[in-house]
Structure 1
Amino acid sequence: MKNRAILIILSLLLFIIVTPSQAQTYQTGSYQTGVGIRMGNTGGISVKHFMDGRHAVEGILSARWGGIGVTGLMEWHKEAFRTEGLNFYYGFGGHLYLGRYQRYRRNYYYESRGAIGIDGILGLEYHLPRAPITGSLDWKPAINLIGRTGYHEGGLALTVRYTF
């Protein structure tokens, strides 16, 4: 099951990367940086900064499982459905989690002090016209490579940002 999910994610990312883009006609809107709240399974504080009209970096600071996590993502944006202000985005990055996982699993006690892994992201973002607000809905799966290893589906998250 895990291998199937990883294969699907990698196939989607490969399809998106090789699909031709029309970056010369696309603009992200009138903001360069946005700061806000991410609500969902991997919630926290989100900061997104556009390096140009198509490329952005996003940082997410989250508190989960009695610890703190930091995620960094590189994202590519494209206009969605030929609608001004509505953007499709995708990307990848990594995360570092510092804290303690504690649980019983198959009759033994499991504890880890942190995790390091890779993340993917797929989503839609809408920049409200004439307002410094964006809203986005995305899915951010992750694979822990060190620490509590394994695939985490991530779930959906809603992010609301103030832009400037």
Structure 2
Amino acid sequence: MKKIFSNLFLLFAIAFSAKTASAQSYQTAAGLRFSYESGPSVKYFATPNIALEGVLGFREKGVVFTGLFEIHQAAFNVDGLKFYYGAGAHIGGVGAGDYRVYNGDYKIYGNSSLLFGADATIGLEYIIPNTPIAVSADLDPRIEFIRGPFFNLTPSIGVKYAFK
């Protein structure tokens, strides 16, 4: 497991050192994001390198909205491949009986609860040439404040349809 995280860190460090992208090939994209909280997502580029992304994530006995501010850069000199990183926050609710991992133990929420916390993201996005399809893979660290504090590091993948 440590080797996987070391390799991912190295991959992201190399991508992070890439020069800033001159332009993103789409302005808005909508699709699905799959992780612990899966659901629809929308990404909007306010500038060629700065995007705002919203995810409505559904999980067992709960729903969470996550908003992210992301910075995109060219990665590995590959056309259509972008490295991105950013931060944001989440808010949502969870029903009784849902669980979270905390220090290696499962903690049960005995009743319904509000969820609120800080999020980060680091990942790669690839726009498939000659198509409006963008695919992404990222790591999403999160700190939960209301029922914590506790920390999660969730991998996710996404598929989006890009609008010009």
TM-score (norm 1): 0.78
| CA RMSD across the alignment | 2.8
1:1-164 superposed matches below 5 A: 22-23=19-20, 26-29=22-25, 31-102=26-97, 110-154=110-154, 156-164=155-163
The answer as to whether partners of 1:112 and 1:148 remain within 8 angstroms in 2 is: no
Give the 3 Å change call, closer, same or farther, for CA 153–124 of structure 1 in structure 2: same
Deviations along 1:21-50, one digit per CA (max 9) or x if unpaired, are 744x52212x10000011122321110000
Give the 3 Å change call, closer, same or farther, for CA 103–133 of structure 1 in structure 2: closer
Partner of 1:8: none
Take 2:109 and 2:65, find their aligned partners in 1: how far apart are those partners? 26
Give the 3 Å change call, closer, same or farther, for CA 107–79 of structure 1 in structure 2: closer
Q: Percent identity?
A: 35
5+ residue gaps, structure 2 = 1-8, 100-104
Instruction: Look up the equivalent residue of 1:115 and give its one-letter code.
Output: L
Give the 3 Å change call, closer, same or farther, for CA 162–111 of structure 1 in structure 2: same
Take 1:52 and 1:108, find their aligned partners in 2: how far apart are those partners? 42
The answer as to whether partners of 2:60 and 2:98 remain within 8 angstroms in 1 is: no
Take 2:111 and 2:159, find their aligned partners in 1: how far apart are those partners? 34
The answer as to whether partners of 1:124 and 1:137 remain within 8 angstroms in 2 is: yes
Give the 3 Å change call, closer, same or farther, for CA 111–56 of structure 1 in structure 2: same
Give the 3 Å change call, closer, same or farther, for CA 110–127 of structure 1 in structure 2: same
Deviations along 1:98-130, one digit per CA (max 9) or x if unpaired, are 122426889997334121000010100001111
Count of matched residue positions in the alignment of Structure 1 and Structure 2: 147
Take 1:80 and 1:103, find their aligned partners in 2: how far apart are those partners? 38
The 3-state SS of whatever aligns with 1:110 is: coil
